[in-house]
Chains A and B, each alone.
Chain A
Amino acid sequence: MLKIEELEVYYGYVIALKGINLQVKEKTITALLGANGAGKSTTLNTISGLIRAKKGRINYKEKDITNEDSSKIVKAGIIQCPEGRMLFPSLTVKENLLVGAYNRNNRTEILQDIEDVLTLFPILSERKKQMAGTLSGGEQQMLAIARALMAAPQLLMLDEPSLGLAPKIAEQIFDRLIMLNKERNLTILLVEQNANAALAISDYAYILETGKIGLTGKGKELLQNPLVRQKYLGT
């Protein structure tokens, strides 16, 4: 579905991605792991069109989307749920969801989808009229995912959804992701530092090491890989 070839990205003169190759197959959960500064968020932001690629290609459904405008990427069906949630703090929960649906026009469908994501994250329906900035960390993460879902994406990219959350809440979020993937056939590209949890739920995984893909393989195989265990799982 998504195919990245030899992608190179620079911040000024500093190289951030040194020609990475990556594939996300339809209906899978693909994990992108790595330490701080390895280039995970850069990869997502380049796909989303926030950062420009210097070299390489990003293909989505056989179409070249490299360096397209971010609004076109969203229209094509790729949405990013960014690191640190990046909600609109002084908009209500409902308004945040409406912004998520910015590129859609069918009002009845949008309202239906709001009801739908609120059943997916019931805690949010109690907070519907509250400002997003007043929510707890876990609720904010749920809202960020719900807002991304409002774009009716085919590919959902999540940047560190478990960051700063209590283990129990993180588990809830991962459960929801599995459900979205299995029951609704949503393709997911998951960036995580929590390698354990991410590998356990992903079909494929890539490990980024300072701008290059180090290891790649099936999620459960990597979980057993001694090198990965030593470096990323701390055992």
Chain B
Amino acid sequence: MTTFLQQLILGLREGSLIALVALGIVMIFKTTGVVNFAYGYMGMFSIYIAYTFLNTVGAPLWLSVTICIIFAFTLGASAERGLLRQVRHLSKGAMLILTLGMLMIFEGLALQIWKQDYRSFPNLVSGVRIITIGTGRLVIRNQDILILIVAAAIMAGLFIYFRYTKTGLAIRATAQNEDAAKLMGIKVGVIFALSWGVGVSLGAISAVLAAPRTFIHPYMMLPLQIRGLTGAVLGGFDSLPGAVVGGILLGVIEQFMGAYISEELKMALSLLIILVVLLVKPSGLMGSKAIERV
């Protein structure tokens, strides 16, 4: 019983991180119609900024993290404004290739500036809780609890933002029909830049939360990005709640596969499960029937 609970908690933690990544990817996809392949790398690049402020400049942790998130927002918004907007009129494919190019640029830059070394990043909160249930014991890190809280807060915040604010409504409208949104007087350019900014910030936040265990290095976000994409597909790719459900589910499935069947095969086995789900329901768990933007 305690093993089950322990694995569930770890799975939820991994799932929350995957869900945050999936949420950012889906948000950018929904509003601007492009899958951002550079997503994880932009998060990785942002956390190096936090690392530099923390260790080279000597700024406190909270300040370094804040700067990192502001940097990520600016990075996302200016990538949209300066690069993707320029090829928007060509095709969605051109934008996709551009994000692949950005992936290589950020990878190269990080390797040049910070080398391939693994660097440590502190937990935002330290300490471990031990809960005794009968004869078993549950070990829960405070950082893991924080991850769950932060992910839940962001998801709730985004939900409220999209449902109840004017800008949130404008983002939803733009995602559904860009030309109609323009005709209603919405500055869609601002909306695109905004969703890129928020999306990439989510990537930076997941990097900050994951870094104490993955360490900081140029490829640190690769596994999360792949699983984030998978979680997003599982959820339907064009649905924000779907990204959350798909992400968390993927994390939990993976954890149980690792614990009960085989640690080595956990990724393959979870992908197999997802394949079966998609065979039965091709639009994903919560996706709309037809996804038009590719």
Stretch of B179-187, B243-251, B269-277 that contacts chain A = B179-187
Name the prevailing secondary structure of the B interface residues.
helix
B166's nearest neighbour on chain A, judged by CB, is A102
Contact B185 A91 (CB under 8 A): no
Contact of A88 among B166, B177, B182, B185 (CB under 8 A): B177
Contact indicator B173/A88 (Cβ below 8 Å): yes
B179→A71 contact, CB < 8 A = no
Residue of A nearest to B190 (CB): A71
Asked if A50 and B179 sit within 8 Å, CB to CB, the answer is yes
Interface size grouping (class) on chain A: 20 to 34
Is B169 among interface residues, defined by CB-CB distance under 8 A? yes
- B residues 165-211 with Cβ under 8 Å of A? 166, 169-170, 172-173, 176-177, 179-187
Rounded to whole Å, the gap between the CB of B162 and the closest CB of chain A is 11
Q: How far is the CB of B160 from chain A (nearest CB, A)?
A: 15
Q: Mark A30-64, 1 if CB is under 8 A from B, else 0.
A: 00000000000000000011100000000000000
Q: Which of B138-170 contact A (CB under 8 A)?
A: 166, 169-170
With A98-B169, A99-B170 already in contact, the answer to whether A71 and B186 are too (CB < 8 A) is yes
Task: Provide the A62-92 mask, 1 if CB < 8 A to any CB of B, else 0.
Answer: 0000000111011100011010001111110
Whether a CB of chain B sits under 8 angstroms from the CB of A95 is: yes
| Bound CA–CA A130/B186 (angstroms) | 23
Bound together, the chains give a CA A26 to CA B222 distance in angstroms of 61
Q: A99-B170, A99-B173 are in contact. Are A71 and B180 (CB under 8 A)?
A: no
Q: Is residue A219 within 8 Å, beta carbon to beta carbon, of the partner chain?
A: no
Q: Does B183 lie within 8 Å of A70, measured CB to CB?
A: yes
Contact in complex: B186, A99 (CB < 8 Å): yes
Flag if A102 contacts B180 (CB, 8 Å).
no
Set of chain A residues within 8 Å of B185, measured between Cβ atoms:
70-71, 73-75, 102-103, 151
Q: List 28 A-B contacts (CB under 8 A).
A: A50-B183, A69-B187, A70-B183, A70-B185, A71-B182, A71-B185, A71-B187, A82-B180, A82-B183, A87-B180, A88-B172, A88-B177, A89-B176, A91-B169, A91-B172, A91-B173, A91-B176, A95-B169, A98-B166, A98-B169, A99-B169, A99-B170, A99-B186, A100-B184, A102-B184, A103-B185, A147-B184, A151-B185
